[in-house]
Structure 1
Amino acid sequence: MALVARSFASSLFQPLSSSPLNGYEGRELASMSLPSSQHKWRMVIAYDGTKFAGWQYQESPPTIQCLIEKALMRITKLDRKQLCLVAAGRTDAGVHAWGQVAHFVTPFTYDSLENLHAALNGLLPSEIRVRQVSSAHPDFHARFSTVSKIYHYTIYNSPVMDPFQSRYAYHCAYKLNPLVMREAASYFVGRHDFTSFANASHCDGSPDPVKQIFRCDVIEMDPVFKIEVEGSGFLYRQVALLIQIGREALPPETVPRLLAARDRRDLAKVTSSALPHGLCLMSVNYCDEILKPLSDFPATSFGRCHSVSKCKLLYF
């Protein structure tokens, strides 16, 4: 598979520059502007995070970023500093994603993105799939251009766990009260300092404890509870507290009290952390303007559909 894109050094792209993009080096601390010789590409990525050590780059145990970078390096023949791969959020070990967004840059462009897309998924393990590849506006930044993110946390509320949901849902054997959980969840909505709920490792990669929560919904689909949060970030210790309140071990008013305390030790006195495997980053939202397609760039690839040119029907 050396590779698929008609020798990625010839007709699939037209090399424009061999110089790397300065300033990113895999981090998100630099200017979002690009030299005219650089082209930016956006990916939507889904992954089962069970056996990976989160998003953030490390080789052992492997991370999502590490594996995607290795695939991109093999395909493009660029090193990771040139690719400057950046995600919308650095999910923790065990956390899943359906709509993670990331961008990377190249010193060349493409006639079509379908071969690149197919090559990426051909090199990645089955637990990671690139769902879309598209050109991106030079000012687009997977993290800094974000308007909001939508997270789902799934709870399986039954005395006996469904083994087919054990990788993607937290098991709670205690009967939960959805009414008090919804009341408690409403206190999270708004702009708050979430210091009391911060993890030792922030699942969205941000050290800033102040987050804007646009909605926090508790959806009951017996025996499954889904907590759906839309905001600038998510800390799954929020879920741990909602579970305690749902068990009626604590009153809903515990939420505003802990928010005001701004002390993780106060939360530790009443609950422990929920497990990360129930959490999934569902989507990342951006303003329409920054997502407008660019002229003279290849169309978005949603994956190649295979067709059968000759088909014989057999009757028995």
Structure 2
Amino acid sequence: MNNYKLTIQYDGGRYKGWQRLGDGDNTIQGKIENVLTELAGEKIEIIGSGRTDAGVHAFAQIANFKMRKHATEDEVMQYLNRYLPNDISVVDVTFVHDRFHARYNAKDKTYLYKIWNEPYTHPFMRKYSMHVEEKLDIEKMRKASQHFLGKHDFTSYSNAKSKKKSMVREIYSLEIKKNAGFIEIKVRGNGFLYNMVRKIVGTLIEVGLGEKDATAIPSILESKERIQTGRMADAEGLYLEKVGF
């Protein structure tokens, strides 16, 4: 069996997320698997490093798949890009050892969130950022972000349905920068729960608007009550930027 590692970029705007929901569904995983199945002549299942939500984008999602048929890296890449929709691109294909697993071998992930912080809309980025009209206090947001660093139980900051698995995650860094009308929030951690990044950004927005005090964040984390977190940032502003191995 040949094991291939894929680096994938996609505009998630018209998809129901990464994870396949059923045969013929409108997901990133489903679209790629359908094309690979045609190439391989057998049913192919790909393993992603993580599951991005509906509407979320990726600069560098990592996945792997195995197939019996031997095809070169270039052949796989060319075939995928020929038959995939033009809002999904495979930018790299690499042979990897048999034990490589895109999800289990991932050590950290970096997400980027874009906020357009002007009183008018951005015609070209309205599908790729969240519009917040009121001026955000970026210094307050930076101070608030420090409360998320380190290892915490993020139950309050997730909409994960299962409570059987550990909700403890570690945030290594959280940076907030201004860039030509945008506020860019970059968060890196060892893993993220369902909706976790969007809920963290939602809290930071509330702090930036003066609707919530940063000192409330530790008690929200300790409460493990999802109702305490308030707003959740829109999906279209979120990008999976990088996966570390």
Alignment TM class, shorter chain as reference: over 0.9
Counterpart for residue 215 of structure 2: 253
Mapped partners of 2:113, 2:166: distance in 1: 22
Normalised by the size of structure 1, how large is the TM-score? 0.73
The partner residue of 1:106 within 60, 67, 78 is 67
SS of the residue corresponding to residue 5 of structure 2 reads strand
Letter in 1 for 2:204: L
Counterpart for residue 314 of structure 1: none
Mapped partners of 2:242, 2:16: distance in 1: 20
Contact 2:33–2:45 (CA<8 Å) still a contact in 1?
no
- Residue deviations 1:114-165, cap 9 Å, x none? 1221110110000000010001122211001011001001000011110101
The answer as to 2:56 corresponding to 1:86 is no
Q: How does 1:209-224 map to 2 (within 5 A)?
A: 209-224=167-182
Q: How does 1:43-122 map to 2 (within 5 A)?
A: 43-58=6-21, 59=23, 61-79=25-43, 83-110=44-71, 112-122=72-82
After TM superposition, which residue ranges in structure 1, 4 or more long, deviate above 3 angstroms?
none
The partner residue of 1:263 within 225, 231, 234 is 225
Instruction: Please give the root-mean-square deviation of Cα atoms over the aligned residues, in Å.
Output: 1.6
Contact 1:199–1:237 (CA<8 Å) still a contact in 2?
no
CA positional deviation for 1:61: 4.8
Contact 2:40–2:68 (CA<8 Å) still a contact in 1?
no
Mapped partners of 2:57, 2:213: distance in 1: 30
Unaligned runs of 5+ in 1: 1-37, 287-316
Counterpart for residue 2 of structure 2: 39
CA positional deviation for 1:109: 3.1
Letter in 1 for 2:8: I
Normalised by the size of structure 2, how large is the TM-score? 0.93
The answer as to 2:88 corresponding to 1:128 is yes
SS of the residue corresponding to residue 20 of structure 2 reads coil
The answer as to 2:241 corresponding to 1:282 is yes
SS of the residue corresponding to residue 163 of structure 1 reads coil
Letter in 2 for 1:278: G
Instruction: Give the helix-richer structure, 1 or 2.
Output: 2
The partner residue of 1:183 within 135, 143, 146 is 143
Matched positions, count = 239
Contact 1:39–1:138 (CA<8 Å) still a contact in 2?
yes
Counterpart for residue 191 of structure 2: 233
Letter in 2 for 1:197: Y
SS of the residue corresponding to residue 71 of structure 1 reads helix
SS of the residue corresponding to residue 162 of structure 1 reads coil
Contact 1:52–1:61 (CA<8 Å) still a contact in 2?
no
The answer as to 2:111 corresponding to 1:151 is yes
Contact 1:157–1:222 (CA<8 Å) still a contact in 2?
no
The partner residue of 2:98 within 138, 145, 150 is 138
Mapped partners of 2:209, 2:78: distance in 1: 47
Mapped partners of 2:174, 2:219: distance in 1: 18
Q: What is the percent sequence identity of the aligned residues? A: 33
Contact 2:151–2:169 (CA<8 Å) still a contact in 1?
yes
SS of the residue corresponding to residue 280 of structure 1 reads strand
Larger radius of gyration: 1
Mapped partners of 1:165, 1:254: distance in 2: 32
Mapped partners of 2:24, 2:217: distance in 1: 38
Unaligned runs of 5+ in 2: none
- Residue deviations 1:7-41, cap 9 Å, x none? xxxxxxxxxxxxxxxxxxxxxxxxxxxxxxx2211
Letter in 2 for 1:215: S
Mapped partners of 1:140, 1:180: distance in 2: 42
SS of the residue corresponding to residue 99 of structure 2 reads coil
Counterpart for residue 205 of structure 2: 243
CA positional deviation for 1:84: 3.0
Contact 1:87–1:142 (CA<8 Å) still a contact in 2?
yes
